[in-house]
Structure 1
Amino acid sequence: MEFLQAPFGAGLIVFLAGMLLVSEFLVKARGLAGLSGILLLGLYAYAQNTSWNMWSIGLLVVGLLLLLLDGKLIQDGTIAGIGLILMLIGLVVPTGDWVTGTVVGLMWFIGIGFGFLSLKVLPRRDMWDRIVLKSAFTSETGYSSTNTKYRDLIGKEAITLTDFRPSGTIELDGLRYSAITRGMWIKKETRVRVVEVDGTRILIEEVETETE
């Protein structure tokens, strides 16, 4: 148990837990990755029992619930990000010294980063498809997905019909299209321009208002 209380041991457990939890959120892991991540967090909590208190455990529980809420219902990554931050606080603060806390914090972020690598080897969840716009809306619901016409959209201006975080919907020439930004958030009813098209993936940027 002393190994798990040392900076390296604590960091290793947190790294694996973060990687598995993010993998569960992004890919179809049948719950195995998520369950393993939760068990590792429980092991970490048990190893750090000398300095743990209810508020830090509460942060972990709330963070896990937010991950579950986003993964099952909201599915845009925002609530999940808040959950990961709350869990980071719940993991770092109770360590009791800055060395272990720093190692745990760094390994948590590294583990999250490694979790994204699961997208390379495992089937993606539908939620991730929505975020990166791998799936397009059908024409029957008012959206256009004809690849041959998308190239003509480059350079044209449109209006955002939804908030972009960073994906959403635009209206251009009376038609609706799914689009994405370069990671920037854009508010609804903002004038934007199509700057790039790759298949059915439309990249937009906000049109800057010229001032006299």
Structure 2
Amino acid sequence: MTYDWIAFFITFFSTMFLLGELLVRMKGVFALLGIGFITVYFSSYLEPDMFFLMGAMYLLGLALLIVDGKFVNDGTLGTIGAVIMVLSVSLSAPSWGAGLYSASGVVLGGLSSLVFLKVFPKRQMWSKVALNDQLSSELGYNSMNETYRALIGENATAVTDMRPTGTIEVKGKEYSATTNGKWLEKGEQLTVEDADGTRILVTKTET
């Protein structure tokens, strides 16, 4: 590639399409486009042995994002995955300028992939992970809903570290709960802010 700035567009589109394929239902079209762009990037800068090494590194970072979003959902693996993706393209670049353009392309491409959620049908698995499809009384979860809702306003204690999900104790019973993004230490005094049939949201008790 003659100009360093071209690397930005290649890594931008590759990351945007690959992450877009994970977010929306495109029947593999975005995946093919993303793989095509990243293949062009690595093949333009690297010898075959390093091509496979850095390509695997990039895909590992992508896999960690998937695992975090689908199973862990606390952001730790996702952050590590994003860093690995940025490093894979940066270390492959022939100059600092190209490396900076490439890293910027990965970051902005990842953020831009969220635009696809406004245009194309969302993958159902991510809705379930995010608990957007909250269980309702009509679906047969009335008992759980009522039990959880009765906890709203109650004082609780963090039995484990909240990262941001953990275990709390309310009136001698333990429940799984989330702090909605904040990390709290074990033993913190909490208040149940909200609850439904799928989750319990707690906040740190103001003293």
Structure 1 residues without counterparts, runs of 5 or longer: none
Partner of 1:42: 39
Query: What are the residue-to-residue correspondences of 1:50-199 with 2, within 5 Å?
Result: 53=50, 55-67=53-65, 69=67, 74=71, 76=73, 78-136=76-134, 144-145=144-145, 150=149, 154-159=152-157, 164-167=162-165, 172=170, 180-186=178-184, 191-195=189-193
Moved more, 115-124 or 16-25: 115-124
Shift of the 187–33 alpha-carbon distance from structure 1 to 2, 3 Å rule, reads: farther
Describe the shift of the 1:121–1:177 C-alpha distance in structure 2 as closer, same or farther (beyond 3 A): farther
Deviation, 1:16, is: 0.9
In the alignment, structure 1 residue 19 sits paired with structure 2 residue 16 = yes
How far has the Cα of 1:41 moved from its partner? 0.7
Structure 1 residues 201 and 192, CA gap change in structure 2 (3 angstroms): same
Give the drift of 1:36.
Answer: 2.0
1:33-73 Cα offsets, whole Å, 9 max, x none, are 223212211111112236982543341243244345556x6
Distance of 1:169 and 1:187 partners within structure 2: 11
Aligned partner of residue 135 in structure 1, secondary structure: coil
Farther-moved stretch of structure 1 (77-86 vs 97-106): 77-86
Moved more, 166-175 or 16-25: 166-175
RMSD: 4.1
Give 2:30's match in structure 1, choosing from 33, 36, 44.
33
Contact 1:166 1:182 in 2 (8 A): yes
Change (3 A) 1:123 1:171: farther
Gaps of 5+ in 2: none
Give the C-alpha shift of residue 87 in structure 1. Answer: 1.5
